[in-house]
Structure 1
Amino acid sequence: MHTALISETASTTSNTSQNVLKMAGLLLISIGLLGILVAAVGADYISPVFTGLGGTLVLTVGALVYIWQSRWHKSPAEQNHGRWHQEATSRGPSAWVIGFVLTGFYVLLYWFPDTLQGLIQATEPLSQWLRGRPSDQWFLYGTFYTLAILVMGVYALLKYRNSRYHIIRTISVMFFQLGFAFLLPGLLLMLNKPEYYFSYFWPLKYDYLFPGTIDYLVRDGAALGVFMVFWGAVFSFLATPVLTYFYGKRWYCSWVCGCGGLAETAGDPYRHLSDKSRKAWQWEVAILYPILGFVILTTLFLWVNSWSEGRLLGDLSGGFASTYGFFIGAMFSGVIGVGFYPLMGNRVWCRFGCPMAAYLGLLQKHFSRFRISTNGGQCISCGNCSTYCEMGIDVRWYAQQGEPIIRASCVGCGICAHVCPRGVLKLENGPREDRYAGSPLIRRDELRILS
């Protein structure tokens, strides 16, 4: 009894210290948000660098403290507990508030950047240090975007710490965002070279093969600009098919891409909200592939117009480009793609709008070695796999039938296999022979107990 009393006292003390640290983290988060708010609306009265940049730093520290205390003491089996019972992750009032704030930020960023001048001024010292030039709305966005992936990357590392695959995958998206999509483009500007994102390729970065962009890179970047054009073309038309043949679309969508990186880190708490209905899949097919076709047509029209010096198409090709930039490049990828995380799941853009996902998906389904094999005899129909599939695939149906999952939409995140309690699912890069062959199932009429 004495030993039990000591153990209970130690447990109570531990829980108290955890709660104190969590409250400290929440307090720091609140102070940080207050500082950012003051920087946004009170730049004329108090230094936005002190309030904005300082607030961002305090917010980051507070978020890390809270995440650590919330995740480290939970076992891997407890990490997803209560997802549908928390307002923020079950489309409750707080989820709508978060969605409204995210959507509003993107609207201001794209069309009313003057309203963000306080926050832009807050990142001025960082911009001068990294790029050697004044801050602007896109540097502000890149800073917030990168911080979100890094901070929530820690969340993902703690949540999936028992899986080597997910640890490496999370570190990969954090590395590519910080190094290739934030530091390297800034360093290029510091050296008076064209800003270039080496981890984004056409058709996702749709303007990288536009005549005007290529002319700008070659003219202002000299030899480095020629290499940038070469790099983008090789990855779009050579490296992407080869890598997708061997590894499926996961090599990019879940390991490299910044959009996927944000979805797998900051969007992870919302992955279960993706619509699994057949109607959602029909919308996916009806929207995604026409967007890819729109990008291809726009690129071709611009090149035809460039070669004909505007005699054939006039302003038509430019109209295509501006239309795509407004509705897809801004509205869909930003406002809806991120702003709707708390309402429609973390892969809204990847699932319904990303032309790179469409391109990779076609290659994955028809030319790749990648598949998720299923051992149907072990499936207990718990539904965890389907619940946490961020791309809305009914994984359980495939598992029940013992059929391999070969879908164009699958990004190979591997969460379905991670949450399966029976080890039914396995990500494979096997040979293409018998790729669609399912695992043998024992049927009722094949049972012979007494024979």
Structure 2
Amino acid sequence: MTTIDKNMALTGQPPKALAPKQRLATLIGFSGLIILLLASFGIQFPNKGLWLTLSLLAIFAGVTWFTVLSYQQKSKGIKNDGVWFKSVSSMGFWGWMAGIAITGFYIVLYFFPQYLGLVKEGANTGVIALFDPLSRLLSGNPASQWFVYGTLYTVAILAFGIKFIWKYRHNRYEIIRTISVMFFQAAFAFIIPEIMARLNGSLPYYDLKNIWPLNYYNFERYRINGFISSGDIGLALLIFGILSVFVISPILTYRYGKRWYCSWVCGCGGLAETAGDAFRHLSDKTVKAWKIERWVVHSVVVFVTLMTTAVIYSYLGNDTSKYWLTKSSFLIGVASLLTLVFAWAMVFKRKQLQKDARYGAIGYFVVIMVLISMHVFSGEGNIFLFKSETLRKSYGFLIGSIFSGVIGTGFYPIFGNRVWCRFGCPMAAILGFQQRLFSKFRITTNGGQCISCGNCSTYCEMGIDVRAYAQKGENIVRSSCVGCGICSAVCPRGVLKLENGPLKGRIEAKQVLLGNDVDLMELVNPK
């Protein structure tokens, strides 16, 4: 007979020892990882397709069964039981061990794939060879370290996505958006690109949900040539990539805020929300962290803008009789676009930006000066005596590899699950700029209902002090907010609500009058 845990304590109870079935589920999950680990150390499995299937199914089944055992006997409602008592989720010993293990995996994946069995000329070995049958089935090509990573990434989002749905099964919004990220990762990021590679071998690998500047490499020369040489479908993908930046993304952000991408589509956000859910409370909520966040993430935006502009500029021609887009016209176009955006923000949105306007002015000035300097001092393929490829590789190493992979995911158990999205993702920064200035999205608050329990701030993965807004009844319109809705879901009083509404009064909301805002005795006893 099934029993339901009726405990309604807000703080939950300290974790108990795992039940026998939970231990068995854990063993099954780890058995799948052990198969991959043995393959990494050179163990040859006779039937690679069978053993890979057993490994992935064991991981998926272990996580799913453990999830069901953990939540099926609990009443609906978020149960963050004992997160600060568990070593793995409170920066304890096992948390650090998990962080070191994940970080080590990313270092090997990015910089030493030969230790995973990648062979450039010849048959793969090790764990990569174990994935060859699946890769050949989908794309017709042998596996690479990126195919291995993509497969494990997808399995993680699907398995932990089920866990997330079980945990938040009382909340329709959380269920729908989790199904969304699971679908986009499995279909748009994994299966469809592999099948496209099989149907058209000259077509560059294209994750359909990745948008510049997240896919900073999309406008490099080899990819442009690949798109053009692939016929109509290649040209369509190139046009889609451009429209995604300048048309599709701004329209969707205007209507729904950056949540349409960061919490519903993006693979980085998908992994953070599912596999990283247990670490969301570790995000730093201090003002110092917020200041560092703004400077770092916007510096990355400037970096990727310069890098992309420099790369495109380097392979354009100068002869106006041969090319409709020359070096000079491209540079003028980029400078004009930045000028229009900056002028619009400074003229119409200056009050909303406040200090950010000054920071934006500095960043804008630097970008324009560098662009002009590029035009004056750079030669064919060179920028300030450096090849454009050097700048691209520097960005790829520092941001694309170290920040987004090694730190962004490897440090989940230390800095929280959105450290990359918060501090390093240029896509999140650009969408945040749009969300702050011209989006209908906001989180409204009913300050009179707030009991200052702090659940909202604790579980905000982006480090926003949500409670400070709720106490004053002030709308939450932050560029960093990804609209995950967890703050609203964990609120016991229904204070917070995700809404799309008119732009007027969106930021300048009326606030609840607090007792310490005025001297009440002066009002009671006027002199």
Same fold (TM over 0.5): yes
Q: Secondary structure at the match of 1:426?
A: strand
Instruction: Give the letter for the 2:400 counterpart.
Output: G
Structure 1 alignment gaps of length 5 or more: 1-6, 13-17
Counterparts of 2:3 and 2:397 in 1: how far apart (Å)?
Answer: 58
Counterparts of 2:30 and 2:36 in 1: how far apart (Å)?
Answer: 10
**Structure with greater helix percent:** 1
Would the aligned equivalents of 2:4 and 2:73 in 1 still touch at CA under 8 Å? Answer: no
For residues 368-413 of structure 1, give each alpha carbon's deviation from its aligned partner in whole angstroms, at most 9, with x where no partner exists.
1111111111110000000000000000001111111111100000
Q: Secondary structure at the match of 1:392?
A: coil
Residue 431, structure 1, aligned to residue 440, structure 2: no
Residue 94, structure 1, aligned to residue 94, structure 2: yes
Q: Secondary structure at the match of 2:474?
A: coil
Describe the shift of the 1:318–1:410 C-alpha distance in structure 2 as closer, same or farther (beyond 3 A). same
Show the counterpart of 1:370: 441
**1:45 CA displacement:** 7.2
**1:218 CA displacement:** 1.4
TM-score (norm. length: structure 1): 0.92
* Partner of residue 138 from structure 1, selected from 139, 142, 146: 146
Residue 126, structure 1, aligned to residue 126, structure 2: no
Would the aligned equivalents of 2:315 and 2:381 in 1 still touch at CA under 8 Å? Answer: no
Instruction: Give the letter for the 1:66 counterpart.
Output: F
Show the counterpart of 2:60: 60
Counterparts of 2:199 and 2:178 in 1: how far apart (Å)?
Answer: 30
Describe the shift of the 1:438–1:210 C-alpha distance in structure 2 as closer, same or farther (beyond 3 A). same
- Aligned pairs for 1:2-401 (under 5 A) are 19-44=19-44, 49=49, 51-77=51-77, 79-117=79-117, 118-193=126-201, 194=203, 195-219=205-229, 221-308=230-317, 311-314=379-382, 315-401=386-472
**1:10 CA displacement:** 7.3
For residues 314-364 of structure 1, give each alpha carbon's deviation from its aligned partner in whole angstroms, at most 9, with x where no partner exists.
243221101000000011110001000010000011000000001101000
Counterparts of 1:293 and 1:71 in 2: how far apart (Å)?
Answer: 45
**1:165 CA displacement:** 0.5
**1:208 CA displacement:** 1.1
Would the aligned equivalents of 1:40 and 1:48 in 2 still touch at CA under 8 Å? Answer: no
Structure 2 alignment gaps of length 5 or more: 6-17, 118-125, 319-377
Would the aligned equivalents of 2:48 and 2:133 in 1 still touch at CA under 8 Å? Answer: no
TM-score (norm. length: structure 2): 0.79
Q: Secondary structure at the match of 2:497?
A: strand
Same amino acid, percent of matched pairs: 48
Counterparts of 2:46 and 2:63 in 1: how far apart (Å)?
Answer: 25
Counterparts of 1:204 and 1:244 in 2: how far apart (Å)?
Answer: 16
Instruction: Choose 387-396 or 293-302, whichever is displaced more.
Output: 293-302
Describe the shift of the 1:424–1:439 C-alpha distance in structure 2 as closer, same or farther (beyond 3 A). farther
For residues 213-257 of structure 1, give each alpha carbon's deviation from its aligned partner in whole angstroms, at most 9, with x where no partner exists.
2122212x2111101101111011111111111110000000000
Instruction: Choose 225-234 or 35-44, whichever is displaced more.
Output: 35-44
Counterparts of 1:128 and 1:385 in 2: how far apart (Å)?
Answer: 46
**1:141 CA displacement:** 0.3
**1:124 CA displacement:** 1.2
**1:186 CA displacement:** 0.6
Describe the shift of the 1:434–1:51 C-alpha distance in structure 2 as closer, same or farther (beyond 3 A). same
Describe the shift of the 1:81–1:275 C-alpha distance in structure 2 as closer, same or farther (beyond 3 A). same
For residues 269-314 of structure 1, give each alpha carbon's deviation from its aligned partner in whole angstroms, at most 9, with x where no partner exists.
1000000011111111111011111111111112221114883452
Instruction: Give the letter for the 2:440 counterpart.
Output: R
Alignment length (residue pairs)? 435
